[in-house]
Structure 1
Amino acid sequence: MRFWVGGYAPSRKGDAEGITMLQAGEADSPWASGPLGLSPTIVAAPGSPSWLAAHPSVAVLYAALEADGTVQAYRRTGDMTLVPLGRPIDAGSAVCHVAVSPDGSFLLASCWNDGRLVRISLDAAGRPSSPWIAPAATDPYGSGGPVAAERQPEELLDLAAASRALRAAAGPEFAHLVPDHDVADAAPSPAAADTEASEARPSRTHQTAFLGNGLVASTDMGLDLVRFWRVGGEGLRFVQEVVFPKGSGPRHMVWHPSGHLYVLTELSCEVFALQPGVDGVWRIVAGVPLSPDVRLGSDTAAEITASRDRETLYAGVRGSDALGVVRIGGNGGVLTSVAFVEAGTHWPRNHVVARDMVLVAGQRADEVVSLPIDERTGIPGRVRHRTIVPSPTCLLPVA
């Protein structure tokens, strides 16, 4: 099995020269349990191709060139050859994620440094053009209280109720990890209020996910939001947002066949389940800390993926260099943390599940490792194979 590999170039204090290809076992096999090997650089990309996405119907690959703030398309001209397709498209500062619509008519770029969410049109050949910037997010914890008065309609999350529900779901062992949003805060002093007002939090859009029927979700880890959009015309129409606990930092998501959206929070290292009600309004319905062994303040969660049978979630944690394993129960709305195991490499920035293996990109170890998944428990074991890969940040299966 083969994977495109994106990474950090010297422009982002890494050692990657561009996009490469990783081979796990036999190239034409759907299994990834064999030895790992890396190709030479396939196409140079000094702007740091930190995230990659493929077009669904034409042989085109897209890279978020994070250091340049642009999105570049590459046309595949052979099994292991890429050439630039069109010019780089300006997206925004520190563009860190790209996702292509299921019909291939546009892609969405997420920008970490300036919070932009950008829609970029794609023509029949997959060539990008015409960037459109979505309306910016505003801080739900700004002036007016924990959630500003004008932003408390029924579609927004009641944080107090959510805290009580999550604490009950977590049980006595983990209840202390749930933020006390149901405990009234003391009135801030005028000096404290002035300080808070002067320390505006930045918007940091990090990922988008297509949920079907023209609905899109985006994370804003700086403002603790998941925003929902409806695709229409040449842009996106804002539908709703769900407010997460302050400082939790929603980063990446995975869509589940049950209709739940699972969200990994970078700063609090938790997994939350979102689901729309009968009224169509999305709400948090469950949440669980990855582990009591998480070191809050120094650990940061990175990637979340689902097992092949969609019964287990895997979340990478940088710092502790671990994989949190969360079991999905009930109709998809029950989450249980079952393990917190070694990732086998330093700074697990990204990982992918390939049948019975999980491949982990160790960004600061300059390597990719593979770990077998126990078919009975779903828990990854110890490293089976590893290979040198300069500053890897993204692994994308080759279609």
Structure 2
Amino acid sequence: MIIGSFGPPFGKGGGLASVSVDVDGRMHSVPIRTERPLDSATFLCAVPREDGANLYAVERSSNRVAALRWRRAVPDEAELLDVLDVGEAPCHVAVDPGRGVGVVSAYGDGSLTTFTRQGDGSIHGAVRHVPPLTPAERAVSRAHCAIFAGPYVLSSDLGLDRVNVWHPAADGSLTWLSSAALPAGSAPRHLRVHPSGAVYVVCERSGAIATLAVGDGVAHVTAYVPPSTAGGGDLARAGGASAAELAFSGDGRLAFVGMRADDSIASYVLDGEGLPVWAASSPGGRSPRHHVVIGDMLLVAYQDSDEVASFAISRGSGILRPLSRVTTVSPSCLLPI
């Protein structure tokens, strides 16, 4: 597993680390050396290779995306292949290996930047995209995530409470098609495609989980489960859940959301209609910014307590049992390889 981290002024890291995870959840972390230090590599994605992976990392403080090659045989080194300029304060990157296209979301200016990927993992051809907005909307637009979902790219705008639908062309360019509005104050943050094909979005301020139906270039909000019915009502009344990440169990029956307002991981069981029903909240470290499911384990990056923790998942209830912890500075993203 590869870990990204926050550098100054938001953290003490900034580079990458490699973490081995045993079957019992025990972990061992080593820093990854690169030709030059990465500048707040806060989010990552990967395209697997036979000997390791091509990594793509946003550099939040310098408004760039970096392409690297990591080899499993040398887990503490990564070769820097390319760097491209992107929008202001990039916070998310996704790559579609089939299309050979990647997209970076920029929180600072609300833009998406696409790039094309070569066979060796290098990148080029950065193109900036923004949806049609008024000047007032542009001032508060905050792109936070973009994912490839079937024939579309879906992007969340945390500042405008919208999910945008785009058509990706073969050359990497995007054409804006439509947007779906969420309730005011939701702040849609991260989008995830469920194993069933349904699209879910976790909302940072409200703590709600919404489901989307996407077709014919249009997205519709089909359900919106507020925190008052999903275990986080007190967080919403206190001024915001500060929800961070959404992940599903491998069988799609469970969902997990990091709630930074009270430093908990909320577990949900999805009912027969795919709606999340709150099951439990598990305390841990400080600021659970990102988490991933690996088999029957949940691994959580606690940004402000400088650690990654592993938990065993109860398949029936979603209740988490602590397993192990490893120290790593200001972790912000976990990437299984």
Q: Please state if 1:384 is matched with 2:302.
A: no
Q: Which runs of 5+ in 1 are unaligned?
A: 26-30, 143-196
What is the aligned counterpart of 2:264 among 315, 318, 322?
Answer: 322
Closer, same or farther: CA 385–123 of 1 in aligned 2, 3 Å: same
- Runs of 4+ aligned residues of structure 1 deviating over 6 Å after TM superposition are none
Contact 1:302–1:348 (8 Å) recurs in 2: yes
**Cα shift at 1:15:** 1.5
Closer, same or farther: CA 349–362 of 1 in aligned 2, 3 Å: same
Which digits, 9 at most, give the CA deviation of each residue in 1:370-391, with x for residues without a partner? Answer: 111112212213x221111100
Q: Structure 1 or 2: larger strand share?
A: 2
How far, CA to CA, are the matches of 1:21 and 1:209 in structure 2?
Answer: 25
What is the aligned counterpart of 1:284 among 192, 210, 221?
Answer: 221
Match for residue 209 of structure 1? 147
Match for residue 313 of structure 1? 255
Q: Structure 1 or 2: larger helix share?
A: 1
**Cα shift at 1:129:** 0.9
Q: Please state if 1:123 is matched with 2:114.
A: no
* Matching residue's letter, 1:363: Q
Match for residue 241 of structure 1? 179
3-state SS, counterpart of residue 304 of structure 2? helix
Describe how 1:247-286 pairs up with structure 2 within 5 A.
247-276=185-214, 281-286=218-223
Describe how 1:33-112 pairs up with structure 2 within 5 A.
33-43=24-34, 45-56=37-48, 59-77=53-71, 78-80=73-75, 81-86=77-82, 88-103=83-98, 105-112=100-107
How far, CA to CA, are the matches of 1:216 and 1:321 in structure 2?
Answer: 31
Contact 2:47–2:54 (8 Å) recurs in 1: yes
Contact 1:201–1:223 (8 Å) recurs in 2: no
Contact 2:256–2:267 (8 Å) recurs in 1: yes
3-state SS, counterpart of residue 293 of structure 1? helix
Over the matched positions of the two proteins, sequence identity in percent amounts to: 33
**Cα shift at 1:366:** 0.6
3-state SS, counterpart of residue 235 of structure 2? coil
Closer, same or farther: CA 118–267 of 1 in aligned 2, 3 Å: same
What is the aligned counterpart of 2:287 among 323, 326, 347?
Answer: 347
**Cα shift at 1:298:** 4.5
Contact 2:143–2:155 (8 Å) recurs in 1: yes
**Cα shift at 1:276:** 3.3
TM-score (structure 1 length as normaliser)? 0.77
**Cα shift at 1:135:** 2.8
Which digits, 9 at most, give the CA deviation of each residue in 1:98-149, with x for residues without a partner? Answer: 000131511100000111111111122121111111233527xx9xxxxxxx
* Matching residue's letter, 1:217: L
Match for residue 300 of structure 2? 360
3-state SS, counterpart of residue 317 of structure 2? coil
How far, CA to CA, are the matches of 1:341 and 1:354 in structure 2?
Answer: 18
* Matching residue's letter, 1:361: A
3-state SS, counterpart of residue 40 of structure 1? strand
**Cα shift at 1:37:** 1.5
* Matching residue's letter, 1:117: L
Closer, same or farther: CA 17–108 of 1 in aligned 2, 3 Å: closer
Greater shift, 349-358 or 72-81, is seen at 72-81
Q: CA RMSD in A?
A: 2.1
TM-score (structure 2 length as normaliser)? 0.90
Contact 1:22–1:36 (8 Å) recurs in 2: yes
* Matching residue's letter, 1:42: R
How far, CA to CA, are the matches of 1:71 and 1:226 in structure 2?
Answer: 23
How far, CA to CA, are the matches of 2:213 and 2:68 in structure 1?
Answer: 36
Contact 2:166–2:217 (8 Å) recurs in 1: no
- Number of residues of Structure 1 aligned to a counterpart in Structure 2: 326
Q: Please state if 1:21 is matched with 2:18.
A: yes
**Cα shift at 1:56:** 4.6
* Matching residue's letter, 1:223: L
Contact 1:19–1:45 (8 Å) recurs in 2: no
How far, CA to CA, are the matches of 1:339 and 1:72 in structure 2?
Answer: 38
Which digits, 9 at most, give the CA deviation of each residue in 1:25-47, with x for residues without a partner? Answer: 1xxxxx4x331211133335341
Closer, same or farther: CA 280–132 of 1 in aligned 2, 3 Å: closer
How far, CA to CA, are the matches of 1:280 and 1:129 in structure 2?
Answer: 27
How far, CA to CA, are the matches of 2:287 and 2:132 in structure 1?
Answer: 30
Q: Which runs of 5+ in 2 are unaligned?
A: none
Closer, same or farther: CA 232–341 of 1 in aligned 2, 3 Å: same
How far, CA to CA, are the matches of 2:55 and 2:194 in structure 1?
Answer: 25
3-state SS, counterpart of residue 377 of structure 1? coil
Larger CA Rg, structure 1 vs 2:
1
**Cα shift at 1:356:** 1.3
Match for residue 332 of structure 2? 393
3-state SS, counterpart of residue 298 of structure 2? strand
Greater shift, 388-397 or 292-301, is seen at 292-301
How far, CA to CA, are the matches of 1:204 and 1:129 in structure 2?
Answer: 24
How far, CA to CA, are the matches of 1:241 and 1:56 in structure 2?
Answer: 32
Match for residue 174 of structure 1? none
